[in-house]
Amino acid sequence: MRALVPVVPFAGRVVGLVIGVVVSAGAMGSARAERPLHGSVGFGGALLTTGAEGDRLRLDASFDLKLRSRYGLLAAWRAFDADHRGLVTAGLAYEGAAARPRLVLDLHADLGVDLDHTRPVLGGGIRATLMVVGPTALVLDSGALLVVDGVDGTRLQLQTALSVAARW
């Protein structure tokens, strides 16, 4: 350290500052709060903007569960009604942002099957959950789902669903 002092007169202060930042960062990382088990189950309406194959208003049901982390599972029955059996999907959810307990923003990636045509489905989207009163929440889920059905039958289904959910 003495060899650096003639070359860099403030070397001692820089080293002290670096040590202080490292110690502070370590202390902040160890103070992480325990995340409880949380999730939701909801039901509502969906609007299909593309890939509707006829009517655009459908129903949507979903269930998500996060096991003490920002990562979790999401299962959904999307875009179904009396004339359409809809899409069943399951996938991973990541809590990208939150102002807990009132607002949660999740990103999700899904794989599943189109029940009408028995074709594979893959996609993803963003999901916002807003707590209203007690365990009641509003869930706005927007996503893009690709139904793979050969060269001519493949379709991109863009949809937005608004659901009432119970959240814990």
Most confident of 24-33, 50-59, 97-106, 153-162: 153-162
Q: Please say if the pLDDT value at position 164 is more than 90.
A: yes
Contact 126, 107 (CB under 8 A): yes
What beta strand segments (E) does the chain contain? 38-48, 57-66, 71-80, 87-99, 103-114, 119-133, 136-147, 155-167
Task: List domains and CATH numbers for the chain.
Answer: 1-32 (no CATH), 38-167 (2.40.160.20)
Name residue 112's amino acid: G
Higher-pLDDT residue of 52 and 15 is 52
CA pair distance 148, 155, nearest whole angstrom: 7
- For 72, half-sphere exposure in the C-beta direction (CA atoms, 13 angstrom radius) is 21
- pLDDT, tens digit (0-9, with 9 covering 90-100), for 20-69: 555 554 544 444 567 788 899 999 999 999 987 778 999 999 999 999 89
Q: By percentage, how much of the chain surpasses pLDDT 70?
A: 80
CA pair distance 15, 62, nearest whole angstrom: 53
Both tokens assigned to 59:
């129903």
Positive or negative CA dihedral for 89, 95, 99, 105?
Answer: negative
Kindly report the backbone phi and psi dihedral angles of residue 5, in degrees, each rounded to the nearest multiple of 5, phi listed first. Answer: -60, -45
Q: Which pLDDT belongs to residue 4?
A: 47
Q: Please say if the pLDDT value at position 92 is more than 50.
A: yes
What value does the mean pLDDT of the chain take? 86
At which residue do the structure tokens 């959810």 appear? Answer: 93
Range 99-122 average pLDDT? 94
At which residue do the structure tokens 């459908």 appear? Answer: 58
Q: Which pLDDT belongs to residue 13?
A: 59
Contact 125, 140 (CB under 8 A): no
pLDDT class of 72 with cuts at 50, 70, 90: very high
The CA-CA-CA angle for residues 104, 41, 64, to 5°, reads 60
Q: By percentage, how much of the chain surpasses pLDDT 90?
A: 68
Q: Is 70 helix (H, G, I), strand (E, B) or coil?
A: coil
Q: CA nearest 157: which of 127, 131, 129, 120? A: 120
